[in-house]
Amino acid sequence: MPNTDLYAVLEVGHDASPEELKRSYRRLARQFHPDANPGDPAAEARFKEVSQAYEILSDPERRANYDRFGADVGAGSPFGAGSVQDIFDMFFGGLGGRPQRRGPQPGPDAEVSVDITLDDAAFGASHDVSVTLPQRCSSCAGSGCAPGTSPVTCVECSGTGEVRRVRNSILGQMVTATPCSRCAGTGQRIDTPCPDCRGDGRVTATSTFTVQIPPGVEDGSTMRLADRGAAGARGGPSGRLFVHLRVRPDPRFERVGDDLHHEAHVSFAQAALGTTIEVPTLRATASVEVEPGSAFGTVHRIRHEGVAHLHGRGRGDLYVHLAVDVPIALDDTSADLLRQLAAHRGEEVRERAPRLFSRRGAKK
């Protein structure tokens, strides 16, 4: 995993104080700032990397997460084998870190959106994803050469794959190296192109693969899959694929962090006298005891029936909020009983007559 040590990116030790972090960040940011390195993509990438590392490490909470996660990767990981890279990519989804390399350039990044249910988000799921992207040509294994031929050295860059230029800037002379455009950074030229990909080393095709969505993801979470983006020209590595997760709303629950909230309706009599109600949980139901005299908005907490914590073990809670329904469209018997209740409690209520008048009035 390249460039995953954010401390190394910032050139500090793991026990660096916030002051040290800031100092090192300032120094590196000045060194690699795009204004000081015009037209130098390597410096720009480094600048971004440094900025993003600092963004994470300067936030105590994110730094703690990073420290803990760094130690957690391995056999004891709560996530299934094979998904660690995905998880890791999700943590550092914004990090543009990719080692500078000579030779074939990596393909572009791609993105895809996946709709999942709240259940998928809460418990994790396997999801098939289809993408149509340039992929390595199988006829020439990405080399771009017709079978039986091989490439020759590029004359433009003498086979180095990059072109060096010296430019003057406010900070003095700067040497920049950019990939050779003649050979796309490969250092080689193809005389007899592969007929299937015309020398590009790629053909556009649709591929379907399974993405492991870890439990606890949120609407808007992005997973970054290394090597699932478009293939690079002439055997270059694939770019990254960003998988944006959209969690479909669930009418039963509102999610706040890893907790779920459900509104349970009881009647006025049930709230007054107490009852037992069944409420939905993500995959089953649970009983809630409504105490006599429960007011509107009374909250019951059901532990561990929420969404899994992405960054740790366990799950959030389910909160059941009582909504007390005022009886409407009463039949005569119900209305009479309520009037008796009101009279017994000395409460003043509207007589029946005005309601009849208003009905008759509505007919006109």
Minimum distance of Zn ion from residue 80's CB (angstroms):
35
8 A C-beta contact, residue 277 and residue 264: yes
82 CB burial (10 A radius; 0-12, 13-18, 19+): exposed
| C-beta closer to Zn ion: residue 41 or 96 | 41
Give the contacts of 128 (CB within 8 A, at least 6 positions apart).
208, 209, 210, 211
| C-beta closer to Zn ion: residue 180 or 310 | 180
Q: Does 183 bind Zn ion (CB under 5 A)?
A: yes
Minimum distance of Zn ion from residue 222's CB (angstroms):
32
| C-beta closer to Zn ion: residue 134 or 229 | 134
| C-beta closer to Zn ion: residue 10 or 190 | 190
Residues 189-218 that bind Zn ion (CB under 5 A): 194, 196-197
* DSSP one-letter string for 66-115: HHHHHHH-STT-SSPTT-HHHHHHHHTTT-------SSSPPPPPEEEEEE
Quick one: how far is CA 160 from the chain centroid?
Answer: 38
d(Cα 133, Cα 232) in Å, to the nearest integer? Answer: 11
Minimum distance of Zn ion from residue 191's CB (angstroms):
14
Amino acid at position 179, single letter: P
Minimum distance of Zn ion from residue 152's CB (angstroms):
11
Minimum distance of Zn ion from residue 137's CB (angstroms):
3
Query: 267: helix, coil or strand?
Result: strand
Query: Could you give the string, one character per residue 124-163, with x where binding to Zn ion holds by CB under 5 A and - elsewhere?
Result: -------------x-xx-------------x-xx------
Q: Does 102 bind Zn ion (CB under 5 A)?
A: no
Binding site for Zn ion (CB under 5 A): 137, 139-140, 154, 156-157, 180, 182-183, 194, 196-197
